[in-house]
Amino acid sequence: MKIAVTGANGYLGSGVVNQLIAEGHTVIAVSRHTQNINKQAEIIASDIFDMSDPYIEMGEPDVLLHAAWQNGFIHNSESHINNLSKHVAFIEKMMKSDVRMISVLGTVHEVGFFEGSVNDSTPTNPTTYYGIAKNSLRQVTEMLAKMNNKQFQWLRAFYIVGDKKSVHSDQSVFGKIVRADLEKTPTFPFVQGKNQFDFMDYSDFVENVALAITQFNVDGIINIASGMPEQLIARMTKFITDNNLSIKLDIGKYPDRPYDSKAIWGDNTKLKVIATHHLK
């Protein structure tokens, strides 16, 4: 299968590219910067927003994975709102092309403050620029898919746990604590960590994304999630142990972010169906 991946140089995009190549797919990796992209991919160093006919310029792929997004870890960056219309224009061009399916990476931050299991019909009420922009793109993508009779997937990511290998590109709290440990910082300022989130290891995340976009039986909103809530402090403590870090947590140094849910996790029923079909 020929799959185009935008944002292929990024933290998530580069991992998905590696996974797809390992599975034997033809990958068209598109990004303005290319230093982190697997050289086995067909690399296109370009700004997708400047493409007049992205489907043709990306080599007429069977599937598009739109993973490009700026400042994903800076939740109130104005770039999320400023770039939204550009993402919409790009998706609209692809919807009018002959691509078979369009998959877009989403985020739990579309949901906003919510407690419990998140499924396809969970109401969304985002409270950050990041969540608002992603949620708006999801709504537009759904609308355009119906208008153009195009199959689409919205791959909703929850909380991804990296490792030492991804330390330089991982801007999450897990990447930050690894960098602090490498700098021999004795303590790491942390929140109370009592909130419960849905965590998934980076390797499992990219594998599940690859599974989802290389099949056409399950579409719409797909939670790339473990389906289980876990306290942040417990997962961080495990991360420190698993990666043999010497740094200690300064628990309670920072207050919890006011927009973080107390307990939120994804309904991964669709993901299980995909995995079951893959094993047959």
* Catalytic sites, residue numbers: 130
Contacts of 96 (CB under 8 A, 6+ apart): 148
The residue type found at 70 is Q
Phi, psi of 174 (to 5 degrees): -70, -40
* CB 232 within 8 Å of CB 194: yes
First to last CA, the chain: 19
Whether residue 63 contacts residue 214, with contact meaning beta carbons closer than 8 Å, is answered with yes
For residue 237, the Cα-to-chain-centroid distance in whole angstroms is 23
Nearest to 14 by CA among 212, 149, 183, 168: 168
Among all chains, which residue has been given the structure tokens 């992603």? Answer: 134
Q: In sequence order, what are the beta bridge partners of 155? A: 105, 222
Rounded to whole angstroms, what are the CA distances from 88 to 57, 219, 252? 18, 20, 40
Going by C-alpha positions, the residue among 147, 153, 160, 149 that lies closest to residue 106 is 153
Burial tier of 246 (Cβ tally within 10 Å: 0-12, 13-18, 19+): exposed
Amino acid 104 reads V
Element (H, E) at 45: strand 42-45
**Tokens standing for 145?**
């898919």
